[in-house]
Structure 1
Amino acid sequence: MKVLYLLYAAPTAWALINPILPGWNSDPSIIRVEDDYFIATSTFESWPGHPIYHSKDLIDWKLAGYASNKPSQFSMLGTPPNAGVWAPTLRYHNGTYYLATTTRYVDTAELRLFLRSFYVTTDDIFSNIWSDPIYFDSLGYDPDLFWDDNGDVYSTWAGINHAKEKIHGIWQNRIDITTGTSSTEAQLIFNGTLELNATSRPEGPHVYFINEMYYLVIAEGSTGLTHRATIQRGPSPSGPWENNPANPILYNGVDPSQTVQCTGHVDLVESLDGEWWGTALATRVQNGNVSHQQLGRESYLFPVHWEDGWPIINNGKPLVENDPDVLLDDKPLQLFSTNFTEGSLDATFHFLRTPIKKFHEITEDGLFIHANSYALGDRDNPAAVFRRQSSYSETFEVQVDFQDPHNRLQEAGISAFYDDYLHNEVGVTGASDGSGDRLNSTTYPVKLRITARPDHYTLSYAEAPDSAYVDVGTFDAAVLSVPPPGSFYFKGTEFAAYNTGTGRPSLLPATFKYWMQTPEALEPTNATLSS
């Protein structure tokens, strides 16, 4: 489809712009195949799952497709927030791409239960055609695949013991790669570098064979400000492991003043010229306020060099945004805009949970969304289209034609959305008083806007294309950053366009004329159009 990218010139020369995948793209796993680099990330209850990003130069990343993209692979019917598909490992062996991951079906503090890990394969990563799942026998999450030189295939994962203390650890066995069936007993191979308790949480394992030595990289310290990466080495894929005396190899939390925090889930790759690079997840804390990190966990890139058989990440410095000492990235930043002129959505759009039936189409008037009975906040598949917020200062705008709603249940609009519990909307409805952040409009079409700032969001509308916007509400960004008690915070904020009957079927269509996301604090220059 034709997508408009209006280009803005940056006010100064840019270095490598980290995060390389802005907006929530957590748990990045990276590989190189000849001169192509690929990264896969987590998607939780979003559909399709596990985007695959492609680059030739480690700077310019484009979405190539999704590894989890057909309902036969797994179901997310009623999947709770932050469950769904978790941290992937992307690997390549003998002409086949493998993506190993975990799907979680329910929301419970008992992590030992309700997990199923599997892998999917493809011979052509650009085809967007992946196999149905091949399931592991293991009970755990964050699975890794490693091929030893003798042909043995190792599955390594984060598991939990069966005792009441629920202690995490790194487990491993060998498998038949054609069936996923275990060929050896599972064994606990590592308990991490921290004091062993329920909060140290060693997870995210990756096994490598580098310079005649086996290495085990893990994440530990839970998922908040104490999140970190550590590395061990040993004589076999199972250890025993020698601890790196410089551990942790990545931990921005040692300096709370750093804007970039929650660093972990490292994966390593060797470039075609023999240089080493790594990826990790991290969050950007706004104005020193840890409740203002609503973009969630994003993907970062950094150089790696080796000293005395151990990797040094980012030259021993903390991860930062826009590092001038890494790679030159002089491309202008981009505004995303589409008027839906082709027959399908741009690949960067996605849905909430597995679509039960198609509720949208592209017409000559724009994106046509048929209402269903589910509203945002219902644990189902609402008639809504989502796209990640990618900048802390960003404006999201649509124009919607939603004529003559008959009652307050019929509603169409836009949302700043984290999950079922954390979201805010501005929309058009049939409510007689037009109160709150819903608009009772008699003028069509209507423009709706969400203005995002590092510490707050503002909801606005304009009843005619040339009318000034009217603000109807402002809310603290912490609403989209702080999970309810007992819940997780694994994702980040998205923008959405929706149409709902709020518990009842509705025959009233909503047509969105365009979708525009504009990074703010940039001075527009001559716009360039590409497709």
Structure 2
Amino acid sequence: MQNITNPVLRGFNPDPSILRVGDDYFIATSTFEWFPGVQIHHSKDLVNWKLITRPLTRLSQLNMLGNPDSGGIWAPCLSWHDGLFYLIYTDVKLTSERFSVKEVYNYLVTAPDILGPWSEPIFMNSSGFDPSLFHDDDGRKWYLNMLWDFRGRDKYALFAGILLQEYDSAAKKLVGPIRKIFTGTPIGLTEGPHLYKRNGYYYLMTAEGGTEYEHAVTMARSKKIEGPYEVDPQNPMLTSYQKPSLALQKAGHASLVETQHGDWYLAHLCGRPLGAERRCILGRETALQKCIWTDDGWLRVEGGGNDPKVNVPAPNLPAYPFAAEPARDDFNAPELNIHFQMLRIPADSSWLSLTERPGFLRLYGRGPLNSLHYQSLVARRVQAFRCEAATCLEFAPDNFQQMAGLVAYYDTSLHYYLNVTADEGKGTYLTLLGCDLDQALFPLEQDIPLRGATRIFLKATFDNEQLQFAYAFKEGEWINIGPALDATKLSDDYGGLGFTGAFIGICAQDLSGQHKHADFDWFEYIEK
């Protein structure tokens, strides 16, 4: 029998919403400010998973221009009923810690096929985030979200409970009374609601404790959908709080799926911290736990206790592995590799082209790496503690306002950047820059003159807590540049205000507005 090895979705894949349709399993996860919106992975055995689509591909579905870091897509909910997929999502426009107010917009899109095309969005409401949709067995549909109360005097009071309202699919809007059905437990910070029905009970699963080290999964049940809901007497049913020896920390924000043979699995987010500072450079990931129902009707982790486990028995389903993906992308395809994402808005021909110079990705320089608006940046998740990424760059900058290169990126205030630029005195040169919580970093004592070379190889190597950049004028003849940098700063836990994870990618800037282009011959990502 196979085993599930957690996390099943490695690197920045939080808030999993798991779904089975026939023999196919899908998990939707949050993407925050990264575009296209919402990642969906596919499996047939719960062991092997493959990224297959991101549904929100059009500005009419998702326009995050100007959205703050870690705004955008929070906690999507994927469901299916009568031949139609439903995807509920939040677009968060305001997250500032200076205000207790949040600006959130909740939407619904549908599609007959998981690969789309997905519909134009239907606006649902704005009273809070983490919306979900429940399809009852009587044909009615119910919408849930947490209520954000800006009057709260502390963070616990801001999370004011779970709301329920009926959704009319014919009218395409919410109808009827809004009911608060659950105010949470003493753990607090109640969010992430999902409803399930089993043996005459409605089961309400919520996330509590906040999405850091106090995170937890809470279960409550009621004979009536509007409540009152009784809390599991052994709550929380899953947590890693105050268990620092566990490999999977931050366990919480979960959803349930039943297999074809009646087994139950819980998908939940988790984090794997590094070093004494306990920072999760890979962000919040997705794990699976096998569960059982007790005789008195409560959900438990198989084997007892409420700890998240790394190794979990897989269901009795035929193995369904996916072919390994090539490490190198030569940019010969007409579209970007699915693992790449952009920031806030989609790529278009004004700043990205795979056809103007066949076999190259051409980026036209736009705004700085600190911009919330127009960046020419293409990046992918870092999904292993030990990995390396490399690229080949052809670029001839005219002045100091034009840059292009390889970036290790968390957000606009946290990144490291190995880039080619120019100025009046040095000519064209290679330099290493950084941004540490909005403070500029200059790790190099001396820049590297390129002496007319316009083709250069750049590499970044992650080795647990350390990040080392390198360059070469001939492929393979690498020379380290700069000191070993602190990779753990590219994490939620360092800045304390984010929800994403480390990315590695390529980018170009032209702060003069002339849109100087940079050509990238290939990009390679290898896990060790």
Question: Is residue 2:211 matched to residue 1:223?
Answer: yes
Change (3 A) 1:164 1:289: closer
Change (3 A) 1:158 1:515: same
Residue 136 of structure 1: CA displacement? 1.3
The SS at the match of 2:241 is helix
Q: Provide the residue aligned with 2:114 in structure 1.
A: 125
CA distance in 1, matches of 2:493, 2:308: 25
Question: Is residue 2:526 matched to residue 1:518?
Answer: yes
The SS at the match of 2:478 is coil
Q: Provide the residue aligned with 1:9 in structure 2.
A: none
Question: Is residue 2:335 matched to residue 1:344?
Answer: yes
Task: Indicate conservation of the 8 Å contact 1:96/1:123, yes or no.
Answer: yes
Q: Any gaps of 5 or more consecutive residues in structure 2?
A: 434-447
Please tell me the residue identity of whatever aligns with 2:27. Answer: I
Task: Indicate conservation of the 8 Å contact 1:348/1:387, yes or no.
Answer: yes
Specify which of 499, 506, 512 is matched with residue 490 of structure 1. 499
Q: Provide the residue aligned with 1:393 in structure 2.
A: 386
The SS at the match of 2:459 is strand
The SS at the match of 2:507 is strand
Question: Is residue 2:349 matched to residue 1:362?
Answer: no
Task: Indicate conservation of the 8 Å contact 2:468/2:480, yes or no.
Answer: no
Q: Provide the residue aligned with 1:528 in structure 2.
A: none
Change (3 A) 1:417 1:138: closer
CA distance in 1, matches of 2:132, 2:365: 39
What CA deviation, in whole Å up to 9, does each residue of 1:461-510 have, x standing for no partner? 1122242323223221232125676x622110111101111x22245322
Specify which of 193, 197, 211 is matched with residue 205 of structure 1. 193
Equivalent positions of 1:206-285 (< 5 A) are 206-285=194-273
The SS at the match of 1:397 is strand
Larger RCO (CA within 8 A; separation ≥ 6): 1
Higher mean C-alpha displacement, 56-65 vs 78-87: 56-65
Change (3 A) 1:315 1:214: same
What CA deviation, in whole Å up to 9, does each residue of 1:239-298 have, x standing for no partner? 2112111211110123122231111111000111111111011110113532x2111001
Residue 232 of structure 1: CA displacement? 0.7
CA distance in 2, matches of 1:375, 1:511: 18
Change (3 A) 1:96 1:170: same
Specify which of 408, 411, 414 is matched with residue 416 of structure 1. 408
Question: Is residue 2:285 matched to residue 1:298?
Answer: yes
CA distance in 1, matches of 2:418, 2:500: 22
Q: Provide the residue aligned with 1:462 in structure 2.
A: 472
Change (3 A) 1:444 1:71: same
Task: Indicate conservation of the 8 Å contact 1:88/1:143, yes or no.
Answer: yes
Residue 393 of structure 1: CA displacement? 0.8
Equivalent positions of 1:34-433 (< 5 A) are 34-109=22-97, 110=99, 112-126=101-115, 128-161=116-149, 163-165=151-153, 166-168=157-159, 169-194=161-186, 200-290=188-278, 292-308=279-295, 309-316=297-304, 318-321=307-310, 323=311, 325-326=313-314, 336-355=327-346, 357-358=348-349, 359-363=351-355, 366-402=359-395, 404-431=396-423, 432-433=425-426
Please tell me the residue identity of whatever aligns with 2:112. Answer: D
Change (3 A) 1:177 1:138: farther
| Count of aligned residue pairs for this structure pair | 498
Task: Indicate conservation of the 8 Å contact 2:144/2:164, yes or no.
Answer: yes
Task: Indicate conservation of the 8 Å contact 2:141/2:168, yes or no.
Answer: yes
Task: Indicate conservation of the 8 Å contact 2:467/2:487, yes or no.
Answer: yes
Structure 1 length as normaliser, TM-score?
Answer: 0.88
CA distance in 1, matches of 2:418, 2:54: 30
Residue 316 of structure 1: CA displacement? 3.1
Q: Any gaps of 5 or more consecutive residues in structure 1?
A: 1-12, 521-531
Task: Indicate conservation of the 8 Å contact 2:421/2:430, yes or no.
Answer: no
Residue 182 of structure 1: CA displacement? 3.0
Change (3 A) 1:85 1:331: closer
The SS at the match of 1:279 is strand
Question: Is residue 2:424 matched to residue 1:437?
Answer: no
Task: Indicate conservation of the 8 Å contact 1:16/1:329, yes or no.
Answer: no
Residue 180 of structure 1: CA displacement? 4.6
Please tell me the residue identity of whatever aligns with 2:462. Answer: A
Please tell me the residue identity of whatever aligns with 1:425. Answer: Y
Question: Is residue 2:500 matched to residue 1:480?
Answer: no
What CA deviation, in whole Å up to 9, does each residue of 1:309-333 have, x standing for no partner? 1111253352243x16447899898
Higher mean C-alpha displacement, 62-71 vs 107-116: 107-116
Please tell me the residue identity of whatever aligns with 1:315. Answer: G
CA distance in 2, matches of 1:366, 1:14: 41
Structure 2 length as normaliser, TM-score?
Answer: 0.89
Change (3 A) 1:475 1:320: farther
Instruction: Give % identity.
Output: 31
Residue 335 of structure 1: CA displacement? 6.3
Task: Indicate conservation of the 8 Å contact 1:355/1:381, yes or no.
Answer: no
Residue 394 of structure 1: CA displacement? 0.8
The SS at the match of 1:396 is strand
